[in-house]
A and B are shown apart, each in its own frame.
Chain A
Amino acid sequence: MPSATVGQTPSLSTYLKSLKHNDIETSIELFISLLKRRQIKNSRPCAIATISLLLRVVGEARTRDAQQLIERIRAVGRRLVAAQPREMAVGNIVRRVLENVREVAERDQDAADGGSEGSTSIPSTPIRGETMRRPAFPTKFSEFSPLHGAATIPQDMHARAPLATSGDSSPAFGGTMEAALQRPPLVSSNTSYAGQGPAASSLFSILQHPQGRSPYATPPTGTQSPALKASPFKGDEGQTSASEKLDIKAEVITSIQDLQKELEEVDDEISEFAQDHIHNNEVILTHTSSQTVQRFLMKAASKKRKFTVFHAEAYPNDHLETHATIVNGGGATAEDADERWKPLTSMGITVILIPDSAVFALMSRINKVILAPHTVLANGSLIAAAGASTIAQAAKTHRVPVVVLSGVFKLSPVYPFDTDELIEYGDPGKVVPFQDGEFMDKVDVVNPVYDFVDAELIDLYITNLGGHAPSYLYRIVADHYRVEDIDLSGKAEGGAVKAG
């Protein structure tokens, strides 16, 4: 069924095309089967397919309730992740979207809470008190990912336009000030949480404030002053919540589109850091074919830096792609070549193709190793094409810095408790052809696709947010994913949003 809808060899592009006219369940099934058949593989295609699918899932969701939306996305995400657990980009994107939904929901929730609190002025449950504290969270995301904050806020502002009062829009106040100013009525209203709640809030704000939060991002943090808001919405609360819930979907869609945009631009953003890291006459070793690395090197080359690139070919899984990247700058298939790739050699850079086995021999003359991961794990270690571990280890032995270029979308909240579990084994026919019957029959031919590279072998991560030490990555994980979403298979839901 799903395969019948696709005329040519299924791939990312055919899937994206089919997404437009297939209904949602077919699309999900199709994506699952493509994942299972490895017809969509590697982080970026998986991420793009996931985000496009989720956009449709959200777009077609009939619910206006954030919680139901979350449930829906989680359900879809669970199936996708189960289809191919080692394509962690899928799970990452699902979690990012969930994070966005929660952020939006909390903001609205908060607004609603503010309204209800003001109107009823009776602390209904302790949960209310907790949700009052929450608003400090959402903005921290927008700080680190300016793209998000910048793009979601106008929408946000627009949605809030009727709610906004003079108190809200005063951008001069930081969270601390506002909290301090605006808490007192709250203290009086729910006494049991009086000491705890605001204190936590202001502590968060203290951490947040100095990092240059956009002044426009403050209003949600400020938590619409209950006193101010109470009057306009006292009467028609039902209507307010309806309009807010309408906004939830729109906002989520906008945030997903932002995420999509981020995926498109991630390579460019990473390549912006190229000139900070590559100088003239450098000898760089890279491994397998990666558009991120390719762009990064191209950017450095375009800045008139002359360097030499040793390119290990990653036989037997990626060597043809690697050759194509070296020769044409793009992918191995003719389809990919339609995009206007340019090889590094056209920029006057010397590119030397080497088999993987020569890595150790050459490492003493390499200045920098640049790797592209398949997935980055929360503790700073990574999963990359097989052979990467040997390269990183050889680099460590020769004291050569290892730089990893990775979009944030590859950053997974998974912690490598069992590294063997993360490794995928590929087609042994790539190592020895199946025509070789006797050999294939009697010899155990193994073809690992990925390698686990420990964090200690890596010196620097460059993401679209900037350069980070491997030890800092957990922080970025914390910024991009909610704890509730880390285990997608779990049924437990974030209690805070339940009330919305």
Chain B
Amino acid sequence: MSEPAKAPEPTKPAEEAKISPAELKKRAKAEKQARRAAQKGDQGDAEAPPAPFTNGVPEEQQAQKQSGPQDSKPKGGQTKSQQQQKQGKPGAQEGKHERRGSQAQPLAMRPKVVQTAPPKEEARKNSKQVELFSHLYTQPRRHDISGATKDVHPAIVALGFQMSSYEICGSSARCVALLVAFKEVIQAYTTPSATSLARNLTSHYLSPQIDFLKSCRPISESMGNAIRWLKKLIAEIDPSTPEQEAKDYLCDEIDRFIRERITVTDQAIASLASGLIKNGSVILTYAKSSIVEKTILQAYANGTRFRVIVVDSRPLFEGKSLATSLMRSGLEVEYLPFSGITHAVKSATLVLLGAHSMLSNGRLQSRVGTAALAMQAHKADIPVIVCCESVKFSGKVALDSIVLNEVAPPEELLPPRVAPSQPPTTDRKDEGDDEESKVKTLHDWQDIAGLQILNLMYDVTPAEYIRMVICEYGNVPPSSVPVVHRLANESM
């Protein structure tokens, strides 16, 4: 059994050598599990051991096979694919390992028919993953609490589901929601005996909560910054402080953080940015950013009369809710689908964008499509201005939208199933299966080999398209992002 595990070793490229010991360990674990499962299995003694074995090892081979074509198929250039592989590999394996772990246990109890199914499913799932982004397919988004540790606080569970279903969407909103939930979580915490809050809270209590949230949807840069700040704060608490006092202190600090870093900041940015809006301006914005909305509403409240163009895109249609709220406030709003960018840019005088995060090389990470809009505006010589709280500034850098990104479930891109034109085709399908089975809809995409759907969440806008970034420290050029980041997020 150890042979097949070792056999693929030599074929591996040298660069993977560093992870191979860990991999070996994993494999050994998997084998042990398989053996144990075999002993447990009442029926089919002879078949049970090979079944998990096929479950385990070919997966590894598959993983190598998968990386094989990646090697042989350099897409943009060779350096890129190598880089991608380096980054993609550990993440993918982590995901795989987790999945296998959760599979192996129930497998032993299930009838063997089911045992052969998972690898196929796995293969199919992999074939539906866009190779270029394989590093981003860590695990499917969690929509239920199965497999979650019991430590996860109900507030966090609720928050996680709200995030995974986009009910709470947007970098700042998620950050605030996280902190508010953490207040509740911290209040519910009791320090176990023989340890102190400062030592125990973060590692044993908050970490599972954060992991749960991560499994619902990858956390945003603002959440990361807030969590980092909170951890630092907790670590600095004097162990001698009484528990309740410490908890109250933390909650007060969280309130202060929300107020200072987000609420007041938003107002400051809105008043700064609204000064840029003049009578007769035509503001162009993309999707929905709460801070852009605030800016526009404030400018309107100040008595400035202007027009707003909202460009929106599938699948989230966030811009529609922005347009609705602006329309209700009495503004003149024009709403365009993404394809109408060129039309939108023709009449615009100013582009206001929100951010998911500002990267340290001055680039803007925001809802996918922002970069294209910024590009068109830049070409048309329309100033592109980003409104972004410093809590969203990031120490990370990115050159393209491939490495740092999030892949949303592709199903979101399927058109609504009950289209008026579709019923007749499905009816006919029932009548004549042979003839009409050729006519498929996109909903059958899982069954069509070679068809993949890619639903990216973000893209990265080059710094040269951004004229100015407005944050609570004032109006800065994109090149000042790392400075502001150090000032705001690292000095605290």
Contact = CB atoms under 8 A, between A and B. Distances in A.
Contact of A361 (B342, B405, B428): B405
Contacts of A361: 368, 371, 400-402, 405, 456, 458-460
A339 to B, nearest CB: 11
Contacts of A358: 368-369, 454, 456, 459
B13 interface: no
Given A326-B442, A333-B421, A355-B313, A350 B334 contact: no
17 contacts: A315-B313, A323-B441, A328-B439, A334-B425, A334-B428, A337-B438, A343-B451, A353-B453, A355-B313, A360-B372, A361-B402, A361-B459, A386-B343, A431-B337, A438-B327, A439-B323, A447-B340
A356 B335 contact: no
A397 interface: yes
Nearest to A337: B439
Interface in A106-124: none
Interface in B372-391: 372, 375-376, 379
Q: Among the interface residues A281, A357, A447, which one has the most CB atoms of the partner chain B within 10 A?
A: A357
Q: Nearest 8 A-B pairs (CB), nearest first?
A: A357-B369, A361-B401, A386-B339, A361-B459, A345-B450, A387-B339, A357-B313, A360-B371
Given A317-B339, A443-B327, A448-B340, A356 B313 contact: yes
Q: Among the interface residues B323, B372, B438, which one has the most CB atoms of the partner chain A within 10 A?
A: B372
B275 interface: no
A332 interface: yes
B440 A444 contact: no
A385 B339 contact: yes
Interface in B157-178: none
B335 A443 contact: yes
A355 B336 contact: no
A355 B323 contact: no
Given A328-B438, A358-B368, A352 B428 contact: no
Contacts of A315: 313-314, 337-339
Interface string A60-100: 00000000000000000000000000000000000000000
B376 A327 contact: no
Given A323-B441, A358-B369, A360-B369, A443 B323 contact: yes
Interface of A: 281, 283, 308, 310, 313-317, 319-320, 323-324, 326-328, 332-334, 337, 343-345, 348-362, 364-365, 367, 385-387, 389-390, 393-394, 397, 420, 423, 431-432, 438-439, 442-448, 451-452
Given A323-B441, A353-B452, A442-B327, A360 B459 contact: yes
B415 A445 contact: no
Contacts of A385: 339
B20 to A, nearest CB: 28
A361 B461 CA distance: 9
A334 B333 CA distance: 38
B342 A431 contact: no
A291 to B, nearest CB: 17
B93 interface: no
B141 to A, nearest CB: 18
A151 B401 CA distance: 53
Interface in B69-83: 73-76, 80
Contacts of A355: 313-315, 338, 368-369, 413, 455
B132 interface: yes
B51 interface: no
Contacts of B444: 327
B324 interface: yes
A420 B280 CA distance: 22
A258 B290 CA distance: 60
Contacts of A324: 441
Given A353-B452, A358-B368, A451 B342 contact: yes
